[in-house]
Amino acid sequence: MLLRLAWRNLWRHKRRSLITAFAMAIAVALCMATTAFTDGMGRKMFNVMVEQQLGHIQVHHPDYPTGRKLYDTVPEAAKTMDALEGLPEVAHASAQLMGFALIGGAEETTGGQLVGVEPAREIAVTRADERIVDGRFLEDGKPGEIVLGAGLADEIDVGVGDTVVVVTQGSDGSIGNALYEVVGLFRTGNAALDKSGSMMALADLQDLLVLPDQVHKITVLGHDPDDLLALKNAAIAVVPDGTQVQTWEEASPQAVQMMAMMKFSTLIMLFLVFAVSSFGILNTMAMSVFERTRELGVLKAIGLRPGKLVQLVVAESVFLAALAGSIGFGIGGLLDVYLMVYGLDISGGNPEGMSFQGITLDPVMYGAIEPFSIFSILAALILVSTGASFVPAWRASRLDPVEAIRTE
């Protein structure tokens, strides 16, 4: 009976109920579109920072992350790589050797970072070949090749097919120098790497830096990224003594904070939008109770308990929220599909995209749907609709039957 009464009461003033429902629906739709956009941005940042750079776990010398010293390396690199790739928890692994050098073209020279990689393994872990914007990526078994960040190539005025000279200092104090052919230009989304980074064959850089069979970092991707502890423990068992194994969260607390900040900002946005829309529900329910004061007094006079009156008013708000949610999720779903298929241009006229926290985002950013975000919107809608109705519901339960019946 209470549910039937609540449904009928909702439509006693159709215009007011529909205006309130559509206002809430617009709030729901905007929240869905905004969270889809921020979730898509979060996925992009996770892809750039974690899957392309940090990996699920990292293997390195304990002092290398803080000191970045040339001789803080992982020994027996080839043997360690084979052992890691033999673990059932490991999907792919890639070794990297780092160094700094002067990189020069025919007329311009600048400082840059050298990254030595094994091409096939690097592609499997970071999909580096997909970041090539001109030319191609390195090939296994082809020494003397180098790929440059697009920004670095512009600075020293070289392109695919040109030759660059690399001058650096080896671990034994000697001066290493060699000529390399530029076979490709890349843009990873990491602003620093694109502006000053380069990649060459691991064997070439080991010779240049006089670090045979040594690397600075091994990046590992697991089959189950949600079970990092099992992956870490398995890796610890096979790496050389004195080598440190860290999850990406341990290796880069800044990345963790950035991800958490994006989720927190989404929750703040949900709170603000629904806090505003809650006033619409509160106003609608308060007017409904005020207009039906005499009717509610009659119900109390014939024996309806105060708790039942509260349930009646709350049920009306729940029906109103259900109507708003149905419309809002329909409109929001269409907006989400649009963002996932066509994306949103955030370039501001810059063809290279927008830079955020050192991450260069693509000019067109695509949306993504995360279960957590949908659950948050649904939970916010339920909490707002029921919470805003409790004040008028409590007022209705406190009515004096005699005085309420006398109300005109």
Assess whether pLDDT exceeds 70 at residue 352: no
Higher pLDDT, 16 or 244: 244
Q: How far apart are CA 335 and CA 332, in angstroms?
A: 5
Is the pLDDT confidence value at 38 over 90? Answer: no
Q: Residue 90: what pLDDT?
A: 93
Model pLDDT, residue 100: 93
Supply the pLDDT for residue 250: 86
CB atoms near residue 187 (< 10 Å): 19
Question: Residues of the chain with pLDDT > 90: what percent?
Answer: 37
Task: Using the predicted structure, report yes or no on whether residue 280 has a pLDDT greater than 90.
Answer: no
pLDDT reported for residue 23: 82
For the chain, the average pLDDT equals: 84
What is the pLDDT averaged over residues 60-79?
A: 90
pLDDT, residue 354, reads 56
pLDDT tens profile 369-379: 888 788 878 88
Q: What is the mean pLDDT of residues 172-191?
A: 89
What is the band of 397 on the pLDDT scale with cuts at 50, 70, 90?
Answer: confident
User: Does 395 have pLDDT greater than 80?
Assistant: no
What is the band of 353 on the pLDDT scale with cuts at 50, 70, 90?
low
**pLDDT given for residue 355 in this prediction:** 57
- The predicted-structure confidence for 284-304, as pLDDT tens digits, reads as follows 777 777 777 777 777 777 777
Position 273 pLDDT exceeds 60:
yes
pLDDT at 360: 59
pLDDT value at position 406? 67
Residue 382, pLDDT score = 80
| Percentage above 70 pLDDT, the chain | 93
d(C-alpha 221, C-alpha 131), whole Å: 19
Residue 359: the pLDDT is 57
pLDDT at 308 over 60: yes
Q: Determine which of 30-34, 78-82, 164-168, 255-259 has the lowest per-residue pLDDT on average.
A: 255-259
> What was the pLDDT predicted at 130?
85
**Residue 396 pLDDT exceeds 80:** no
Question: pLDDT of 144-160, one tens digit each?
Answer: 999 999 999 999 999 99
**Residues making up the chain, counted from first to last:** 408
Higher pLDDT residue, 391 or 322? 322
Check whether 230 has a pLDDT greater than 80: yes
Given a cut of 60, whether residue 338 has pLDDT beyond it is yes
CA distance 128 to 121: 10
Residue 357: the pLDDT is: 52
CA distance linking residue 369 with residue 17, whole number of Å: 30
Pick from 99-103, 213-217, 218-222, 282-286: least confident: 282-286
- pLDDT value of position 198: 95
Given pLDDT bands bounded at 50, 70 and 90, which one contains residue 348?
low
pLDDT at 25: 87
Return the domain boundaries, the chain.
2-49+256-406, 62-242
Q: What is the pLDDT of residue 361?
A: 63
